[in-house]
Amino acid sequence: MATIDELLHIILRDLDYLHEKWDQTIEENSLRVTSPILRRLLVEGILQRGWKAAGFEKEPRVTAFSLTPDIRYMEQTKSVIALAWTGGAQVKGMQMANFVAFSNYGTDEDAKALSTREGREETLGLRAFIEAPSIIVKGEMIPRRVVIKYIVNTQGGAHVGPSKHVSDEEQRQYRRLDEAKRSRSVGFPVPFFELLSIGQALIRSEDITRLRERIKTL
């Protein structure tokens, strides 16, 4: 098991990479490097451990775009979201956030309102950020945690593959993400864009900036 100093060094190295080296492109080579970093920090929980080890209380908070209003609409009207993603990443200097396509709507007025809505952000604790829906495919909500694991296991450096070390529920969600991958709503596969959005939201967090500065002084 890593010592506290080793743990903080790993976290700082990973955060510095995301901040300084991960540009606004979405390519397979980038995914192979960055998806294991995000899995280590977020899914395996070392970022939260480092937050505590650096002397902070509770958990860091992250601000990111949210699908919560769309989910509420889906639940209230029994509409089905065919495809949605939170987004928020900057690519080539442009920020693209929030996309949602419904299979059906409650009324024509609702459809018009949804088509003109602006992207909305919410600030969440780290655990809630990881578990919040990032992509919805055919009404199934897929959290950021699963998106990260999907990229690692199918496109990233681990290449575990969806049949190993993955629960039945996650395998089903992987199949939904395969469907989302075929969509080019943003000009490239949606799960890839979401991974970039997750990483950029993390690095933009004021709490994560505080953590990086604290580790450098220790």
Where are the chain's structural domains?
Answer: 4-217
pLDDT at 72: 84
63 has pLDDT over 80: yes
108 has pLDDT over 70: no
Confidence of residue 1 (pLDDT cuts 50, 70, 90): low
Q: What angle do CA 91, 162, 201 make, to 5 degrees?
A: 30
Radius of gyration of the chain (CA): 18
C-alpha count within 13 angstroms, C-beta hemisphere, residue 5: 2
* DSSP state at residue 42: I
CA distance 183 to 191: 9
pLDDT at 75: 83
% pLDDT > 70, the chain? 84
pLDDT at 162: 47
127 has pLDDT over 80: yes
Out of 97-106, 152-161, 169-178, 190-199, least confident range: 152-161
71 has pLDDT over 90: no
Are the beta carbons of 207 and 62 closer than 8 angstroms?
yes
Question: Once rounded to an integer, what is the mean pLDDT over residues 36-50?
Answer: 96
Out of 107-111, 126-130, 171-175, 194-198, least confident range: 107-111
C-alpha count within 13 angstroms, C-beta hemisphere, residue 24: 9
pLDDT at 23: 64
106 has pLDDT over 70: no
Question: Once rounded to an integer, what is the mean pLDDT over residues 14-30?
Answer: 79
Confidence of residue 81 (pLDDT cuts 50, 70, 90): confident
pLDDT at 114: 57
% pLDDT > 90, the chain? 53
